[in-house]
Structure 1
Amino acid sequence: MAEPQLNVKDLQGFYGESHILHGMEFNVAKGEVVTLLGRNGAGKTTTMKAVMGMLAQRSGSVTFEGRELIKLPSNEIARQGLAFCPEERGIFSSLNVYENLTLPPVVKSGGMSLEDIYQIFPNLKERLKSQGTKLSGGEQQMLAIGRILRTGATFLLLDEPTEGLAPVIVQQIGAMIRLLKQKGFTVLLVEQNFRFASTVADRHYVVEHGKVIDMIPNDQIAANTDKLEQYLGV
């Protein structure tokens, strides 16, 4: 079996005195869509921030394509081809859609062109001169993801991309994730909605109290629905 593209071992993470991650361990193969499932406060977002070097106090091992990232600053990690799309999306209200899209630097060759991004998200092309925060929630999510596709990232960390969106927009986000997978992108997804996650992901890691307590392949999710509902308190 090939070495995973991302391999996380014994990942510890702290916010000040608070010990949040207690030995997170998981891996993601190139071209996979993998979810971190868990209740609020389980440590899913903190895990993503620790992988990206955005958590000041972290230890353990995070390797990407064989290179250890745990000591690298976040700007160096981004240059390896990883990009984080936060739950709050981080759209700049003073900039229009085009300016938001083109603001981040291209850190690695092979990023999508603006035309490629408009093909995936035709709504954005129609709204280029609109103020970023005047977009609908779904359009803001598309803008946040489109923005990182330009940078050259091939490994995307998406934090709750469907949170608060109407069902029809959730379906669009799902179609977009499946399309990115077809194009060879790798996606690590934080989700609470395992029913949505099951429409896009290959595998699911269940996170509780800052560590992985189970891994469920997507083709076994129907047989594990009761267990997942218990884990997630649905």
Structure 2
Amino acid sequence: MADALLQVQDLHAYYGESHVLHGVSLDVREGEVVTLLGRNGAGKTTTLKSIMGMIARRDGSIRFCGRETISLTSDRIARLGVAFCPEERGVFASLSVQENLMLPPKIAEGGLGLDEIFALFLNLSERLTSPGGKLSGGEQQMLAIGRILRAGARLLMLDEPTEGLAPIIVRQIGDAIGSLKARGFTILLVEQNFRWASALADRFYVMEHGKIVESFESSRLAENMDKLHEFLSV
């Protein structure tokens, strides 16, 4: 078994006085796609933001490439090789597609060039000079994912990449993530669309009320379907 690239142990997170994460533990091994499932409000996004250093108050341990990062700021975590694509996408509306793609700094070798990104997301190559604010929701999602692929990050964290998108765009994004997986990228994915995620993930964690309540590998998916129906109401 490969060593864990990311190890989260007994993670607690707070928004003000609200205790949101209650001892979350998970790991992601190099080259895996790991999906974090759960209903709205279960703590999935907070988990990603905590790993990225975007939650001010956190307790526990987050180790990336063997280094403890719980006390590091977001910019330092990013420079270690963690990239985050938020649910709200964060596209710069006044910048062109090309400017958005070129904005993040390169932190290491192994990132994709523009031609490789356009091969994954053909729509972007056709909208190269268009302002980010003029793109469709699906194109903005492609741009948000494409933007983090240039940097050379070792871990990609994608938060709800199919939320609110048309089925044809969902398929295109699934194909792109499948291609990244085939190339050895490591991905931690938060997703409501379980059936879509099930075709991509190597392992699953299920969250409820800020805790991990179940975990299993894709080979055990069929035997866990009843539990997933209960936890996710799908």
Instruction: Tell me the TM-score range normalised by the shorter chain.
Output: over 0.9
1:158-173 equivalences in 2 (<5 Å): 158-173=158-173
Partner of 1:8: 8
Deviation, structure 1 residue 154: 2.4
CA distance in 2, matches of 1:162, 1:2: 29
1:80–1:108 CA contact under 8 A, matched in 2: no
Whether the aligned pair in 2 keeps the contact of 1:154 and 1:185 (CA below 8 Å) is: yes
* Residues 168-224 of structure 1 deviation map (CA, whole Å, 9 limit, x = unaligned): 111111111111111111000001121111011011100011110101211222222
SS at match of 2:4: coil
Equivalent positions of 1:38-187 (< 5 A) are: 38-187=38-187
**Structure 2: which amino acid aligns with 1:94?**
S
> Is this contact kept in 1: 2:52–2:78, CA < 8 A?
yes
Residue 156 of structure 2 aligns to which amino acid in structure 1? L
- What CA distance in whole angstroms lies between the structure 2 residues aligned with 1:180 and 1:59? 32
Cα distance in 1, alignment partners of residues 75 and 108 from structure 2:
12
Q: Distance in 1 between matches of 2:96 and 2:2?
A: 43
- Offset at residue 81 of structure 1 (A): 0.9
Alignment of 1:224 onto 2:224: yes
Superposed displacement of residue 108, structure 1:
2.3
Deviation string, structure 1 residues 16-72 (Cα, Å, up to 9, x no partner):
111000000011110000011000000000000000111100011111111111111
Q: Distance in 2 between matches of 1:202 and 1:112?
A: 23
Aligned pair 1:208/2:223, yes or no? no
The match for 1:193 is 193
CA contact (8 A) 2:2 2:30 kept: no
Aligned partners of 1:165 and 1:201: how far apart in 2?
A: 20
Contact 1:6–1:27 (8 Å) recurs in 2: yes
Q: Which one is further off, 220-229 or 57-66? A: 220-229
User: Does the 8 A contact of 2:3 with 2:30 survive in 1?
Assistant: no
- Shift of the alpha carbon at 1:79? 0.9
CA contact (8 A) 1:158 1:187 kept: yes
Give the corresponding residue for 1:34. 34
Residue segments in structure 2 that go unaligned for 5+ positions in a row: none
Secondary structure class of the residue paired with 1:5: strand
Contact 1:38 1:231 in 2 (8 A): yes
SS at the partner of 2:214?
strand
- Percent identity, aligned pairs only, is 63
The number of residues matched between the two structures is 234
- Specify every segment of 5 or more residues in structure 1 that has no aligned partner in the other structure, as ranges: none
Equivalent pair of 2:160/2:192 in contact (CA under 8 Å)? yes
Q: Which moved more, 1:110-119 or 1:191-200?
A: 110-119
The CA deviation string for residues 79-103 of structure 1, in whole angstroms up to 9 with x for no partner, is 1111000001011111111111111
| Distance in 2 separating the partners of 1:221 and 1:174 | 19
